[in-house]
Structure 1
Amino acid sequence: MKFRLLGALLAIVIALGGAVILTGYVNGGDARAADGAAFVPSFVVTTEIPAGTPAADLGELVAVKQIPALAAVPGRVSDLADLTGLVSDVALMPGEQLLGSRFIDPASRTVRGGVPVPQGMQAVTVALPAQNVVGGEIVAGDTVGVLISATVDRSGTDLPVTRQVFHKVLVLRVQPGTSVTPGASEADASATSTDPVATLMVTLARSTADVETLVWGQQFGSVWLTLEPEEADETGSRSVDGGVVFP
């Protein structure tokens, strides 16, 4: 009889312990579920944002929405001020959370970015000193004027001439080039020189005949680019030599 009583008491104790453990697990599950169901604010894209869009223009393209904490992506933007001065590196689609990693310095994107070659045209690259490229301010998508300076034979006399040969040429890509040191040479490493002059690799879209002209100018003269937007006036172009500059 005594053993039966002890067995019954032991069974009751085990049952109570199991109930306590089960209750604790269930309560913990409820807490975990509650944590996952908690909502946090996040900037969400409401209208497609093209690549290269300045962060300053995001105001009407994004909205703050409450999303489940478990769905919040690490690195999401909590304050648009954190993106000041940056641009979107890729296109952002509606429904995406705004991530800081999707925004970069515009100068970085200019180096990496590019514009497709228009149908029927070719891409040609010229390496130019920064002062020949509007101080390095030209970026992919701009249109430029192209000037060539060269010495040409005029009636048996070599004559330096400059002329704007092309207008509103599409810039496909701009990359930093090498740095050259004027006056220095491999034969004389100790040659006195000035500070290095930065060069830029500028890729332009032109027709076959225009590519030939541009390469000739690069090979036998010097090339300069102007920033020439669509509304720029193209009239008044002429060939300029010493007689024009000093009549």
Structure 2
Amino acid sequence: MKRNVVPAALARLAASLGFALLASPALAGDGAAIDPIGFSGDGRYFAYEEYGVQDGSGFPYDSIFVVDLIEDKWVGSPVRVRLDDESASLDAARRKALAEAQPMLDKLALTVPAQPLLMNADGESGASGMEASFGMFGNGLDAPSDPFTLELETFASTTTEPCASYGMEDPVQGFALTLVDSAGNEAEIYRDTAVPASRGCVSDYRIHAVMSPFPFGYSASPLVAVISVYSLGFEGPNRRFVTVPVAP
């Protein structure tokens, strides 16, 4: 009888993942996930959802952010929901946050889908997160056009948070982003002067994604770089996200 190689391969993968989970440290930080909600019709506003389960408490949470890409700041205050019950579902937290944010989302008409031009997926192997290249999707098999490279730099910075008293030994980290075009021309598009208290006690950053309105591409509005932020948590580094407008 001919062996079915696909189930066999899946069995090996499942076994290897199982052993990896058993071998993992018992303590791990709270790594939030992110979902783009979309852009406004004029491309000025971008909204996204950040959600997960807190380390330590096991409480599900969900936050919804709306960003003004021209002013590079939040619109109003982010909607933040945490259900202080470890038996509560993540789905319940997400539905509650979305219901609270819906009036603001409706007011700004955030109806244009977001298209990822690049994504450093959580299971992707080999992506450094410090540099990433992307271009415009051509809706075919050709290579992306008008390529750019996004470079991330981290450096010691300051914050109003008393991070040393929380047990953080190293300086809090800030970040800068530089955009390099295909001709090698560089433009620094963002640099921290200090780390906002909202980020917590940050130890590192990574490039997570670049989002574009679909199907408008570069010309309609700024793109959005999504940056992973790793900060001091109860059981290890916690991951959250910040966004930076990118205008190639």
* TM-score strictly above 0.5: no
- Greater C-alpha radius of gyration: 1
TM-score (structure 1 length as normaliser): 0.20
